[in-house]
Structure 1
C-alpha cells in the first residue's frame, strides 16, 4: 500500500473516531440536561420503558396509593434513577418487572419487552386474555422498538377490558382555568371539574403522527391549554395524558360571578380567581351572583344568571338532595357547588351542608339547587391543645421560636405588636415578652398559620391554625393551641390514619376522633395546663402529619357527627390492627370499669352462620382459654377483616441474657409510673389459698427463671404476666406494662409478610403466646407469637380499611365496632 493511501486511511479513521466521540459528547450533554427525555421520544414516535411503566401503573394505583408503597426496587446503577422511580416501583408491586432493575427505564421499549410485560399482566388479570386480538400490529420483531402510537393503541385496548369495578383510569373533558401553586414543589391544574396533578403528564393529541414537541417542551401544560377544553385520561386527582383539544362550546356551570362590567368578567370557580373576556360587552353590570358561563374560542359568548335564592333550616342532606324546612326535598344539580361567601371567599368541596341550622342560602334553577352560599361561620366549640416538645418527650419547652406565613401579632394583657410575615421571633424562658404574663400569637387575618420552628414533627416544623398561647411556668414554657374543634380534626385524621385509605375510612376516623375529642374537652382533662388534650398518643396525635384535602373533606362531610350511647357521647377508643378479635375495655385500663359499647368481638369477615362454621370459627368465640388462643394465633385459618395486614401476625425471640440486663430497670420504671400495677409476691398470709402480691419497690429480681401467662381475658389479651426471678417473683398487670416489659428493644420482630422491624420500645400488642427454650433446666430464651398492633379496644383502623374496601359505609362500620350506639350531633 502506498504512503498516500495509508495517510488517507488514517485520516478516515481519525474522522470516524472524532465523529463517534462528538456524538457521545452530545448524547452525554443531552443526558445531563434532560432527565425526562420523553418529549424527544414522542418526536421519534417511540416510548421509553419509564413512560410505559407510568401508564401501566395507573391500572392498579392512583397517586396516593402509589406513593404509599414501600420503595423496594434496586437499580443496578444508581444513575438509572429518575422521574419514573415511583412508577417502576409500582409495576414491580404489580408483578410486571423484576425487583432488580438492570436496564435503565430511560431506554426505549421494544416489542419483545412490551410483550413480556403484558403477558405477565394477563396472568395477573385474566380478563385481559383477548387484549391482543384486534391490534393493528404484532410482536414478531421482538428486538425492534415499539412505536408510541402502537403502545397507546394497546394501552387503550387494555382500558376497554378493565371491569367497571376496577376502573381507575377514566376519560374526562376538562376546561383549563389556571394553576394552583399553593404547593411550591408540585403544581396542579385547576379545571372546571377540579384540581389535577400533572407533574409527569404527557400530551398525546396526535399519537399517530410526529408532534411538534418543540412547541410544548418549553411551556407548562397549563400555559399551553389555558382557557381551552381538553379531553384527558385521568386517574383520581392526576392527569395521565391529554388526548385532544375540545372544539365544543364549553359551559362552566354555577360559577360565582364577583363582578361583570363591559367585556370584563371576574369570576371565582374551584378556588381560583379568574378574569374572562367577553365577545361582546355586557348589557348590564352583574356582581355577586351564581351563573352559567358559555365560552367559545376563549371568550365568553353567553352568561345565564341564576338570581333565585331560598333560605331555610336544613332538615336533611344527602348525596343528591337537601331537605329544607318549608320547601321539602330539593334535588341537587350535577354541577352543584358550595361557596363560602363571608370573610375570605372560598370554594367548599364537601357535599354535607350543616343540618339543623340556617347559615346557608340556596340558589335554585329549574327545580334544582345549583349552589349553596354559606353566609355565616359555623358555630363550632373550640378545643385547647397542649403542644409537646419534639418527639413528644415533655410538656415544657426551654425556648420557643416561631414565625408565620402572614403578618402576625403577639399580644399580652397590656400591649400588642405586629410582625411581618416570615420574621422569626424567639421567646426564651423568662424573656421580655413574657414579663406581663400569658401571651397570645395569632395572624392578623385569622386565616394564616403560625409555624413553630422550635418543634419538629414527621414533616418538619408544624404549622398551626387558630391562636397560640404561651405561658412561663417554673418547669418551662407551655404552649396551648386554641382552635375550632372541627379544624383540630383536620390535622388529627392524617396523624392517626393514612389518608390513602379512602374517604369512607376517613369519615369513620373523623367521627371517632370527634367523639374522642369532645369527651376529653368536656372532661377538662388537662385543666392544670389550661388545655383539654395534648397532641401526643396520650390523647390523639395532632399535627404530626399536616392536614390535607382528604382529611378536611372527611371532617366537613361528617360535620358535628359523634357516636352516642344512651344519649351520651362515647369515648371512641381505636387502635391500628386487631389479631382477629377485639377485647373489652375493662381488661385494658387499670380502673377495670366495664363499658357496654366496648365489648370484644370476633372480626370474621361475615357474621353469618354458614361462614362462621367454616374454619370452626365458633371455636374461637372464647379466646381467654390458653389452648384455644394458641390454636387461633398459630393456625390462622379464619379470615378476619385484619387478615391481610402485616401486623396481623408477628413473632420475636428474646434471649434471657438480654432481658436479664434490663428487667430490673424496666420493672422499676413501670412501678414508678403506677405502683399498683407492678406487684411483688410475698409469703402467703394466714388463711390465703394462694400466694399474695403486694406493691413493693423493685430493686432486683435476680436472674429470670420463668415467664408465664397468669391471666388471659376476652379476645386473648394477657392482663397478668408472672415473671419468676431467682430473688423475687413479680406480677405485671395491664397490657401496656406487659408490652413495655417485653419490648424487643434489641431484637428483631418478624411480621406476617416476613418483613423485619427492629428496636421497638413497645411490644405490638398483648395478644400473644409464649414458647420457651430451656437448656439444662435453665431458661435461655422465649419466643413470642402474637397478633395485632395496639390495645385492641374499640375500632381497628385497618379493619375499617378492609370493610370500606368491601363497600360497607361509615355509619354501619361505627355500629359494628361500638355496640348499641347511634350517630348524634354535638352542635344542636
Structure 2
C-alpha cells in the first residue's frame, strides 16, 4: 500500500508543476504597452535634435493631423515619422485616438526596419501578434539597439539627474517643464510630478527628457543651495533656477543663522533632515576664468567644485553662468569648501571703470609672445603671488617663454603715473607704452600679455588708432562715444577670460595703441566722459566702419535677427535719411556704378571702386568648381549688400554665403583697385566691402573668363560711417546729432554702471 502511494505521489509531481505553470501563464498580467506618441518622440529625437526638429517642422509647414489637434505635444514627432516612412498613415491614422493608443508589434517592426533592416529581427512579429500592443519594456530594449544605428554619436545619452520642480509644485512653471540638476528640461508626454526630489537615471537629448530609465529613490542630497529665508517649519531656497519652499522633517529653531548662506541639504521623502552650511568665503580680483578653476589675485588658481553655482545675489537672486564672471572684477565673493569654489556670489554690479586688453604680437598676428622685454622710466612694483618687489627706475624686465619666470602670473604696476614700454613690440608709431598695469602669464603656446587700464585712458589710445586726429572735433567725439559703448559691451563677452583679458587690441575689437594719442583726441574722450549709447535703457552694440557707398545695412549680414538690434537701420547717407532699396540687379548696378551719387561721404576715395579679375584668380579661392565660367550675386541684403554669390565652373558650382566670405572669395593680393580720382592700390585679399556687382567681360586669348567688379564703401556697412560722420561734422552737425542719425531711437547718457 505504501509503495502504491509513493508511486502515485511521484507521478503526481509533474502534473502539479504543469498545473502551476498553466495557472501562472493564465493569471500573469499582460505587459503594458507604450503609446505611439511616446515611441514617436523617442524615435524622432534619436534622429534629430529638438532644435532640428523645430526647423524641420517649420520647413515642412503642414501636418497629417486635423487642425484642432495640431497644437498637441505629440504632433511634430508623429508627423516626422509619417513623413519619413516610419509609420504608414493608411494603417495608422493620424488622430488623437491612435496617438494615445499603444504601438503594435507590426508598427514596432516597421520602425525598426526603417532605421536598419537588421533591427527588424529584434521584434518577434507574427500574424497573431501583429496588432497586439508592443510591451513598453521591450520597446526600450529595442530603443537601445536603435540608438546605435540612428544616433552613433550618442546625442541621446544617459544622465543621472535630480528633479527640483515641475508645474505641480512650482507656481508659474511652464507646462511640460522640469527644473533639474541638469538645468531646465522639457518632458513632453511624460509624468514627472511624482519624481520631485528623486534621483533619476534618464535618457536625454539636449534639453529634452525622453525616458525615465530608473528611479534611484527619494533620499537625496542637494548641494550648494542658496538659503533665502525660512522659519522653524522650513526654508525658502534658490535651487537650480527656481525659488522653492522646502519643509524640515523636524522643526528648526535657529533658522536665522542659515539665511544668506550656501548649504548642502540632506533630504528624505521631500523633507530636510540636515543642513550643512558653508561659511568660508574669500574675495579678490578675478585674473582669469577657466572651465575648471578661477584665478584670484592673492590666491592663485582655485579649482571649481563639480556642482559650483554662480549667483547674482543683489536684487532678485538669479543663476548665472561662468561666462558672466568678468575678469578684472572685484564685485563678488567666493564660497569655498575643501579647497574648492562651491559658489560665486555676485554682491553688486560690475563697474565700467576698467578694461583688460590682450596685447597681440607684432602685426597683430598672434596672441602669444616668445619673449617680452619691458622697461619704465620710473619705479615699478613687481607682484607675483604673495611676493612684492620694488624695481628701480629704468629696470628691464625680460621674460622668455618656458624659462619658468611666469609659471605664476607676473604683475607689473608702474608708480607715479608712469607708463610701461614694451621694447620687444612694434606698432605703427614704433615702440608702444602702456598705462595701467601689465600682466604676463606663460602658457603652453607662449607668453600672453594683458594690459589692465582705466576705460577712459584706454579710449584715448583707441580713438587716434581708429580715426585720424585731424578730423573734426565733433566727429572725434562721436567716435569716442561709439568706442566707449562698443568697448563696454565687448568687455562683457569675456572672449579671453582664460587668459585674464576681455578683448584684444586688434580690429577684431578695436585697434588700441597703434597710433600715439594727441591733445585733440584726448579732449574728445574727456568732453564725452562716461557717455554711451542706449536703446530702451540698455547699452547698444555700437558698430562702426570706415566709408559707406551711400547706404548702410543692418545686422542681417551676420545672420542676426534685425529685430534684436532695432537701432541698426539700413539708411541712405543723404540729408533726407531715407532708405535706399533696389528692385532689381540692374537698379543696384546703376547705383553702385554711379560715381557722383550724392552722399555725406561721397568725396572719400573708397566711396566707389572697381577692378579687373579673372576665372583663374577666383578659382584659387573657390574650390570644387574647376575652371570658373561665371560669377553672379544671387541674393542681396538690406541696402544691396551681396549675401550670396554663385560661382559656376567646368566641374560644378558652389554658393558662397555671407558678405565677408564673398569679399574674401573675390579678393586677391594681385588685384589692382581703381578708386578716387585716378588712384590705384594693390594687396586687397579682402575686398573693401560687400556692396558690389560682377560683370562678365568675355574671355582672354587662353579662354580664361574675365570679369570686372564694381563696388563702393569700405567696411561692413553697419552702424556709423566714420567718414560720413566727418562730413556731417564739417557741415556743422554736433556729435549727438551725428550719432542719432546713424543709430535709430537711441539716447546718450552718462553712466558707468548698469
Q: TM-score, normalised by structure 2?
A: 0.51
Pair 523,826 (structure 1): closer, same or farther in 2 beyond 3 Å: farther
Pair 658,827 (structure 1): closer, same or farther in 2 beyond 3 Å: closer
Report deviation, 1:637: 4.2
1:276-287 pair list within 5 angstroms:
none
Q: Figure out how many residues of one structure are paired with residues of the other and give that number.
A: 402
User: Which residue in the other structure is 1:83 paired with?
Assistant: none
| Aligned residues of 1:706 and 1:779 also touching (Cα < 8 A) | no
The 2-side partners of 1:432 and 1:410 are apart by 16
SS at match of 1:520: helix
1:37-48 pair list within 5 angstroms:
none
Report deviation, 1:594: 4.7
Q: Choose from 650, 669, 674 the match for 2:609.
A: 650
Report deviation, 1:589: 4.8
Alignment pair present for 1:629 and 2:608: no
| Aligned residues of 2:616 and 2:628 also touching (Cα < 8 A) | no
User: Which residue in the other structure is 2:490 paired with?
Assistant: 520
Q: Choose from 657, 660, 663 the match for 2:621.
A: 663
Pair 493,781 (structure 1): closer, same or farther in 2 beyond 3 Å: same
Pair 589,395 (structure 1): closer, same or farther in 2 beyond 3 Å: farther
SS at match of 1:410: strand
1:146-545 pair list within 5 angstroms:
381-435=353-407, 437-445=408-416, 447-545=417-515
What CA deviation, in whole Å up to 9, does each residue of 1:468-502 have, x standing for no partner? 11111111111110011111101010010001102
What CA deviation, in whole Å up to 9, does each residue of 1:746-781 have, x standing for no partner? 021011222111112210001011111223995522
What CA deviation, in whole Å up to 9, does each residue of 1:445-480 have, x standing for no partner? 2x0111112221101111100011111111111111
User: Which residue in the other structure is 2:117 paired with?
Assistant: none
The 1-side partners of 2:704 and 2:380 are apart by 63
Report deviation, 1:432: 4.1
Q: Choose from 752, 755, 761 the match for 2:679.
A: 755
SS at match of 2:685: coil
User: Which residue in the other structure is 1:161 paired with?
Assistant: none
What CA deviation, in whole Å up to 9, does each residue of 1:546-584 have, x standing for no partner? 222112111110011000000000000000000000011
What CA deviation, in whole Å up to 9, does each residue of 1:653-701 have, x standing for no partner? 11223333x225xxxxxxxxxxxxxxxxxxxxxxxxxxxxxxxxx6x43
The 2-side partners of 1:589 and 1:516 are apart by 20
The 1-side partners of 2:640 and 2:371 are apart by 46
The 2-side partners of 1:589 and 1:548 are apart by 39
Pair 748,797 (structure 1): closer, same or farther in 2 beyond 3 Å: same
Alignment pair present for 1:764 and 2:736: no
SS at match of 2:378: coil
User: Which residue in the other structure is 2:136 paired with?
Assistant: none
Pair 625,824 (structure 1): closer, same or farther in 2 beyond 3 Å: farther
User: Which residue in the other structure is 1:724 paired with?
Assistant: 648
Q: Choose from 781, 789, 795 the match for 2:706.
A: 781
1:585-624 pair list within 5 angstroms:
585-589=555-559, 594-607=564-577, 621-623=580-582
| Aligned residues of 1:772 and 1:782 also touching (Cα < 8 A) | yes
The 2-side partners of 1:592 and 1:605 are apart by 24
The 2-side partners of 1:773 and 1:552 are apart by 50
SS at match of 2:698: strand
Alignment pair present for 1:715 and 2:639: yes
What CA deviation, in whole Å up to 9, does each residue of 1:278-322 have, x standing for no partner? xxxxxxxxxxxxxxxxxxxxxxxxxxxxxxxxxxxxxxxxxxxxx
The 1-side partners of 2:422 and 2:561 are apart by 37
User: Which residue in the other structure is 2:270 paired with?
Assistant: none
Pair 594,751 (structure 1): closer, same or farther in 2 beyond 3 Å: farther
| Aligned residues of 1:623 and 1:713 also touching (Cα < 8 A) | no
The 2-side partners of 1:596 and 1:478 are apart by 38
| Aligned residues of 1:652 and 1:744 also touching (Cα < 8 A) | no
SS at match of 1:516: helix
The 2-side partners of 1:455 and 1:605 are apart by 45
| Aligned residues of 2:375 and 2:422 also touching (Cα < 8 A) | yes
Gaps of 5+ in 2: 1-350
The 1-side partners of 2:505 and 2:384 are apart by 25
Report deviation, 1:627: 1.5
User: Which residue in the other structure is 1:31 paired with?
Assistant: none
Q: Choose from 726, 750, 753 the match for 1:825.
A: 750
Report deviation, 1:820: 0.7
The 1-side partners of 2:487 and 2:559 are apart by 19
Alignment pair present for 1:743 and 2:667: yes
Pair 775,527 (structure 1): closer, same or farther in 2 beyond 3 Å: same
SS at match of 2:470: helix
| Aligned residues of 1:710 and 1:720 also touching (Cα < 8 A) | yes
User: Which residue in the other structure is 1:702 paired with?
Assistant: 626
SS at match of 2:732: coil
| Aligned residues of 1:452 and 1:461 also touching (Cα < 8 A) | yes
The 2-side partners of 1:744 and 1:596 are apart by 35
SS at match of 2:669: coil
User: Which residue in the other structure is 1:795 paired with?
Assistant: 720
| Aligned residues of 1:605 and 1:639 also touching (Cα < 8 A) | no
What CA deviation, in whole Å up to 9, does each residue of 1:719-771 have, x standing for no partner? 11111122232211111111111113102101122211111221000101111
Report deviation, 1:626: 1.3
The 2-side partners of 1:624 and 1:752 are apart by 28
The 2-side partners of 1:474 and 1:591 are apart by 39
Report deviation, 1:585: 1.1
| Aligned residues of 1:588 and 1:791 also touching (Cα < 8 A) | no
| Aligned residues of 1:649 and 1:786 also touching (Cα < 8 A) | yes
The 1-side partners of 2:560 and 2:665 are apart by 17
User: Which residue in the other structure is 1:314 paired with?
Assistant: none
User: Which residue in the other structure is 1:557 paired with?
Assistant: 527
SS at match of 2:694: strand
What CA deviation, in whole Å up to 9, does each residue of 1:82-120 have, x standing for no partner? xxxxxxxxxxxxxxxxxxxxxxxxxxxxxxxxxxxxxxx
SS at match of 1:597: coil
Q: Choose from 516, 537, 547 the match for 1:567.
A: 537
| Aligned residues of 2:562 and 2:568 also touching (Cα < 8 A) | no
The 1-side partners of 2:562 and 2:424 are apart by 40
Pair 529,423 (structure 1): closer, same or farther in 2 beyond 3 Å: same
The 1-side partners of 2:427 and 2:553 are apart by 32
Pair 605,638 (structure 1): closer, same or farther in 2 beyond 3 Å: farther
Structure whose alpha-carbon radius of gyration is higher: 2
Report deviation, 1:631: 1.1
Pair 701,385 (structure 1): closer, same or farther in 2 beyond 3 Å: same
Pair 789,658 (structure 1): closer, same or farther in 2 beyond 3 Å: same
